[in-house]
Amino acid sequence: MVVSNEQWGDVWFSKQHYAYELARLGHQIYFINPTKKWKIKNFFSTKIVEDVINNNLSILTYQNNLPQGKIFIFFVRINDYFNCLKIKRRIKHESSQLIWWKFDPYRFLSSKPLKGKIIYHVVDPHLHLWQDKIQAKQADLIISSSEKYINSYKKMECKNIIKIPHGISDDEFELDQNKVVNYKKKYGDYVIIIGTIAADVNINLIRLIALEKINIVVIGPEAISSNEWEAIKKMKNVHYLGSAHAKELKHHIAGAKAGLITYNFISKQKGQVTRTPLKALNYLAQNLPVITTIDSEIKELENKGVYWAKNENDYLRFVKHSINSELNIDTERIKSYLNQHQYSKLISNILKQLAKC
């Protein structure tokens, strides 16, 4: 069971990719959607909605019976108990056969009466959450996508902690060249930004790139509302396409000159912790240079495909070089790196490690 804090839909994060790839490998997967805002009618809710994606993958959606949050913290475990009962009735599997693959720190702090082995998969910084410690301490295996989080879990005296970087699907290498050609014709020479436009995105940096008359394609949902972002979307050389299905992103990416990661700048000296973006691998799969404001942790490809800018001037310089195809792209090193990080290999490693727990 893959427990996600983000809904199943067109936009895919690590959770959706792992559910999809596990199902492709023949595992029966139940992807558990996050709950929506509590309503009074939820008090009597006993049903689970199951949407079947394919023979091995189903999406489960339910609602909490009781409100929870800062005021109603004590309802968390009661909700967990009732929700486990709902799931148990739906899936009808023996607990001994179950694996809880948790990407969501908030739910199922207790999995009684539906037991099974627990993987706590950390792809974003959750260390500031009180639920995080509970999830980590009860997990049979903790997976961290970044070295940045591992020491904190070691200090908690958690057991069985491994680093598994982000993965790449075989699907990313299968292109419809007609689509790629069409995007090139439509947008000319362009750079691309994939991901949610949220508070941690450096909107001013996007504006500066646009002011250089460089074509920008932006794909992803909006989680902010600001006058600056609205003004950027109106610029003639900025093409905001909204959300696109995860399996279609590769065609937009393949037509671009560079893949951009435009979070707020992060300083190593200050010890700041941020995301480990999955999109870097999607860019590299199409042999695009990755230009980033944060440490991608892909040391093997620094200045050979991944370019970490420390400030706005550096970033703009890299972008201009990418438009002129002047950045070094070591395709053999990229191919080797991606080959080692295919989901099938990562999942095999994870399940072997879990079997030892």
Share above pLDDT 70 across residues of the chain, in percent, rounded to a whole number:
96
Domains and CATH numbers, the chain: 2-167+344-355 (3.40.50.2000), 171-337 (3.40.50.2000)
The token duo for 22 is 């596990």
pLDDT (0 to 100) of residue 275: 62
Q: Are strands 306-308 and 290-292 parallel, antiparallel or unpaired?
A: parallel
Is 96 a residue whose pLDDT tops 80?
A: no
pLDDT (0 to 100) of residue 270: 47
Model's pTM, two decimal places? 0.93
Q: Are strands 190-194 and 258-261 parallel, antiparallel or unpaired?
A: parallel
Is 308 a residue whose pLDDT tops 80?
A: yes
Residue with more model confidence, 66 or 148: 66
Q: Write the pLDDT tens digit of every residue in 4-61.
A: 999 999 999 999 999 999 999 999 999 999 999 999 999 999 999 999 999 999 999 9
pLDDT band per the 50, 70, 90 thresholds, residue 274: low
Cβ burial, residue 328 (10 Å; 0-12/13-18/19+): exposed
Distances (CA, A) of 27 to 23, 99, 313, 341: 5, 11, 48, 20
DSSP tag of 1: -
Residue range 279-297: mean pLDDT, rounded: 94
